């Protein structure tokens, strides 16, 4: 890979998470699909917030989380995403900037407030997310600086960004700019319901503009409308150069053409799975952009995911500096 | 103890914490006294926030933390404290209300924003706090509803409230109302630097209006200007009915006249000591207001503190419902 100013440029929703513990009954009472991500409007956000247990606020957003983790792992990272000029937007900017991530996107003013995701964590550690997109909907193609895209080895796109309507155009612009500069494009499918909502658009982008795909079992089978991961892996091998499919406590499988690399999961105390997939992608891309073999990419992904699973919230809470060495082992 | 609508009425600063991990060098560079609480103004708050690592936001405030923990332990709790009508104030209100705590204080409007405490947690788990008091300074005697005080078995006052000038008058009003209704008054010394700042006022309140005193080693020796905890314990026994002095990893000592009860600490994985003393007081008062013996009060304090020490942030993150039974052990 040629020299670049950044290892990873992430493009995603800029969100502040509100995380609280709840029981399963709370999910049922509020018609939430456990483990999923639902989009909510202002009224729903107010109603759920009023009802949900006390929590903490932590910067979130899937690809933004990946950017923070990759930076903690020593990667050079930039992020494009839209917050408003408000208290949560300031917190998001502070957190990602102080995580060492270059964040050039100007805040919106006078429009919708900064996005928030109301996250219920059940006793099994599973997270159920309710996202109010707010200012994220004003991210569009003009926010993608083609020159910045060209300066990053990998541009990493968030599947959730298929929800705000203007962002799909931003994706295509980013993918074109990356390939024009000889760079690569990665995409996370983000969520099975999101894949269902935008399946055709996902497939079109994947087949024409994506080199590296991240997905979990539910997402990849939803994408190809198949019943087993094996069938999905066979299909994805023809669509992208490289795919990494996470399989919860079964670890992950990396697919490159006919090659399969199985990664066993790192031991983890499950407190809160929020951000596990984001951290896996971060570890993978941090190793990949340093030219490490696929087995090391997968192991660094697993180690990063294990740390994030061990506490409340999706951003790093401990020292990641020795993790890259551990992944070589 | 006679019937009451509330077991505990807390009066304290209403603060949202911003917690981040930092190294010791960060504390030195910013002239922070490790383990202490410093008051900061708007400019300092902006400068420290801009420099500090990424973090999380969690409702805080010493006595407010105690109220949330005591409620999680099954006590009936109310809290008086002042937030502004802003995003952090809404989060504080949500968190304490959803923790089951009655919170009648109206927010201030048009004045200073909701208080925040910038907390640096070093690798040893010790927390160093920088408090911007904001809206807390507008809490005064008019905010203390004497009828509400009369409905609570124990009114619990926060030593940090000696800093905002009007709050001392609120304390005296609360202590008088409690005693007029045949109730008890508890006080936490909060912080050794705070004791140094207001030593005479503390002693005057303690000798004339406090039944139960909470302090740690540094605070109680600062109060009596003595060199050893033993000397301080001898003195405090003459000033209050009951004192509970926490001794970090040595546990705690409860003093009631000539009686001493030694409490061994509960086993804890130290992640972040923020709120340890608050949780101890909460466990103690939750058992005390149920008429439990002093040994059980101390053990419930230790168990609650151990949970809070085990994660980032001072509010409960796990199920406290079986803790009271464990303390009977």
Beta carbons within 8 Å of A148's beta carbon, 6+ residues apart: A6, A9, A78, A80, A104
- Helix A62-72 and helix A87-98, axial crossing angle in degrees, nearest 10: 30
Could B54 and A318 be called an inter-chain contact, meaning their C-beta atoms sit closer than 8 Å?
Answer: no
How many secondary structure helices (H) and strands (E) does chain B include?
13, 13
Give the pLDDT confidence score for residue B168 in this predicted structure: 87
Give the pLDDT confidence score for residue A2 in this predicted structure: 59
Q: How far apart are the first and last CA of chain A?
A: 24
- What is the distance between the alpha carbons of residues B6 and A315, in angstroms, rounded to a whole number? 38
Please, what's the b/e burial string for A133-151 (b: 16 or more CB within 10 A of its CB; e: otherwise)? bbbbbbbbeebbbeebbbb
Closest by alpha carbon to B121, among B47, B41, B32?
B32
Would you say A77 and A102 are in contact if contact means Cβ atoms under 8 Å apart? yes
Q: Which residues pair with B119 in a beta bridge?
A: B19, B129
CA distance A29 to chain B (A): 17
Could B98 and A313 be called an inter-chain contact, meaning their C-beta atoms sit closer than 8 Å?
Answer: no
Could B56 and A88 be called an inter-chain contact, meaning their C-beta atoms sit closer than 8 Å?
Answer: no
DSSP readout, A238-283? HH-SEEEEE-GGG-EEEEETTEEEEEPPPP---S--TTHHHHHHHH
B270: DSSP letter: -
* pLDDT digits 0-9 by tens, A236-293: 999 999 999 999 889 999 999 999 999 999 999 899 999 999 999 999 999 999 999 9
A59 neighbourhood in chain B, CB within 8 Å: 54
Which of A58, A68, A319 is opposite residue B56, by nearest beta carbon? A58
Give the pLDDT confidence score for residue B321 in this predicted structure: 87
Cβ–Cβ pairs < 8 A, chains A and B: 65
Could B57 and A91 be called an inter-chain contact, meaning their C-beta atoms sit closer than 8 Å?
Answer: yes
Give the pLDDT confidence score for residue B266 in this predicted structure: 93
Surface-to-core class of residue B171, CB atoms within 10 Å of its CB (0-12 exposed, 13-18 middle, 19+ buried) = buried
Which of A49, A52, A95 is opposite residue B54, by nearest beta carbon? A95
Could B56 and A54 be called an inter-chain contact, meaning their C-beta atoms sit closer than 8 Å?
Answer: no
Could B58 and A57 be called an inter-chain contact, meaning their C-beta atoms sit closer than 8 Å?
Answer: yes
* pLDDT digits 0-9 by tens, A154-198: 999 999 999 888 888 999 999 999 999 999 999 999 999 999 999
A308 neighbourhood in chain B, CB within 8 Å: none
Instruction: Report whether pLDDT(A1) > 60.
Output: no
pTM of the model: 0.94
Would you say B15 and B117 are in contact if contact means Cβ atoms under 8 Å apart? yes
Q: Which residue of chain B is at minimal alpha-carbon distance from A88?
A: B87
Fold classification of A6-14+61-110+137-328 (topology level): 3.40.1190
Which of A21, A86, A319 is opposite residue B87, by nearest beta carbon? A86
Residue showing tokens 């000033």: B239
Six token digits for residue A278 = 């984001």
Which of B54, B96, B123 is opposite residue A315, by nearest beta carbon? B54
B58 neighbourhood in chain A, CB within 8 Å: 56-57
Interface-testing mutation among A54, A95, A99, A135, with chain B (most B C-beta atoms within 10 A)? A54
- Helix B62-72 and helix B294-309, axial crossing angle in degrees, nearest 10: 110
Mean pLDDT within B19-34: 96
Residues of A with CB under 8 A from a CB of B: 18, 20-21, 49-50, 52-59, 68, 86-88, 91, 94-96, 98-99, 123, 311-313, 315, 317-319
Give the pLDDT confidence score for residue A318 in this predicted structure: 86
Surface-to-core class of residue A25, CB atoms within 10 Å of its CB (0-12 exposed, 13-18 middle, 19+ buried) = exposed
- What percentage of chain B reaches a pLDDT higher than 90? 94
Surface-to-core class of residue A321, CB atoms within 10 Å of its CB (0-12 exposed, 13-18 middle, 19+ buried) = exposed
Which of A54, A57, A318 is opposite residue B98, by nearest beta carbon? A54
The ipTM value here is 0.92
* pLDDT digits 0-9 by tens, A100-152: 999 999 999 989 999 999 999 999 999 999 999 999 999 999 999 999 999 99
Residue showing tokens 């788990």: B125
Instruction: Report whether pLDDT(A57) > 60.
Output: yes
Give the pLDDT confidence score for residue B318 in this predicted structure: 86
- What is the distance between the alpha carbons of residues A187 and A212, in angstroms, rounded to a whole number? 6
Instruction: Report whether pLDDT(B1) > 60.
Output: no
Instruction: Report whether pLDDT(B166) > 90.
Output: no
- What percentage of chain B reaches a pLDDT higher than 70? 99
Give the pLDDT confidence score for residue B242 in this predicted structure: 98
Beta carbons within 8 Å of A162's beta carbon, 6+ residues apart: A168, A171, A194, A197, A198, A201, A202
Q: Which pLDDT band, with edges at 50, 70 and 90, does B140 fall under?
A: very high
The superfamily in CATH containing domain B6-328 is Ribokinase (3.40.1190.20)
Closest by alpha carbon to A171, among A185, A181, A182?
A185
Q: Which pLDDT band, with edges at 50, 70 and 90, does B171 fall under?
A: very high
Would you say A255 and A220 are in contact if contact means Cβ atoms under 8 Å apart? no
Q: Which residue of chain A is at minimal alpha-carbon distance from B47?
A: A94
Residues of B with CB under 8 A from a CB of A: 18, 20-21, 49-50, 52-59, 68, 86-88, 91, 94-96, 98-99, 123, 311-313, 315, 317-319
Please, what's the b/e burial string for B21-41 (b: 16 or more CB within 10 A of its CB; e: otherwise)? bbeeebbeebebeebbbbbbe
Name the average pLDDT for chain A: 95
Name the average pLDDT for chain B: 95
Mean pLDDT within B72-92: 97
Instruction: Report whether pLDDT(B83) > 60.
Output: yes
A99 φ/ψ sector (left φ>0, alpha ψ -120 to 50, else beta): alpha
B56 neighbourhood in chain A, CB within 8 Å: 56-58, 313, 315
Which of B18, B58, B94 is opposite residue A49, by nearest beta carbon? B94
Give the pLDDT confidence score for residue B165 in this predicted structure: 80
Six token digits for residue A73 = 């792992």
- Domain boundaries of chain A, sorted by first residue: 6-14+61-110+137-328
Torsions phi, psi for A237 (to 5 deg): -60, -25
- What percentage of chain A reaches a pLDDT higher than 90? 94
Give the dihedral sign, CA A309/A315/A316/A317: negative
Mean pLDDT within B183-206: 95
Give the pLDDT confidence score for residue A245 in this predicted structure: 98
Mean pLDDT within A302-322: 93
* pLDDT digits 0-9 by tens, B230-244: 999 999 999 999 999
Could B57 and A58 be called an inter-chain contact, meaning their C-beta atoms sit closer than 8 Å?
Answer: yes
Give the pLDDT confidence score for residue B2 in this predicted structure: 59
Q: How far apart are the first and last CA of chain B?
A: 24
Closest by alpha carbon to A268, among A127, A121, A125?
A125
B311 neighbourhood in chain A, CB within 8 Å: 311-312
Please, what's the b/e burial string for B122-152 (b: 16 or more CB within 10 A of its CB; e: otherwise)? beebbbbbbbbbbbbbbbbeebbbeebbbbb
Which of A88, A123, A313 is opposite residue B87, by nearest beta carbon? A88
Could B88 and A87 be called an inter-chain contact, meaning their C-beta atoms sit closer than 8 Å?
Answer: yes
């Amino acid at each position: 890979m040629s020299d670049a100013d950044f290892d990873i440029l992430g493009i995603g929703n800029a969100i502040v998470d509100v995380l609280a513990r709840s029981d399963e009954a709370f999910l049922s009472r509020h018609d939430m699909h456990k483990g999923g991500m639902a989009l909510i409007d202002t009224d729903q956000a107010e109603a759920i917030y009023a009802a949900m247990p006390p929590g903490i606020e932590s910067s979130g957003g899937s690809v933004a989380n990946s950017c923070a983790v990759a930076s903690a792992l020593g990667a050079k990272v930039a992020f494009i995403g839209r917050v408003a000029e408000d208290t949560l937007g300031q917190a998001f900017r502070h957190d990602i900037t102080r995580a060492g991530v270059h964040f050039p996107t100007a805040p919106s003013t006078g429009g919708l407030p900064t996005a928030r995701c109301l996250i219920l964590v059940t006793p099994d550690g599973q997270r159920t997310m309710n996202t109010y997109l707010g200012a994220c909907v004003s991210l569009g193609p003009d926010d993608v600086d083609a020159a910045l895209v060209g300066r990053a080895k990998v541009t990493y796109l968030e599947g959730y960004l298929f929800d705000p309507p203007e962002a799909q155009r931003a994706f295509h612009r980013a993918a074109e700019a990356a390939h024009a500069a000889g760079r690569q494009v990665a995409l996370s499918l983000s969520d099975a319901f999101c894949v269902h909502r935008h399946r055709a658009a996902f497939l079109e982008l994947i087949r024409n503009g994506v080199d590296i795909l991240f997905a979990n079992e539910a997402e990849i089978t939803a994408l190809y409308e198949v019943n087993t991961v094996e069938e999905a892996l066979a299909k994805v091998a023809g669509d992208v150069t490289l795919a990494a499919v996470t399989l919860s406590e079964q670890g992950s499988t990396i697919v490159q053409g006919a090659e399969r690399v199985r990664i066993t999961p790192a031991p983890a105390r499950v407190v809160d799975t929020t951000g596990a997939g984001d951290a896996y992608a971060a570890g993978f891309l941090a190793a990949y952009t340093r030219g490490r073999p696929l087995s090391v990419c997968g192991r660094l992904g697993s180690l990063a995911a294990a740390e994030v699973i061990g506490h409340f919230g999706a951003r790093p809470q401990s020292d990641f500096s020795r993790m890259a060495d551990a992944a070589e082992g």
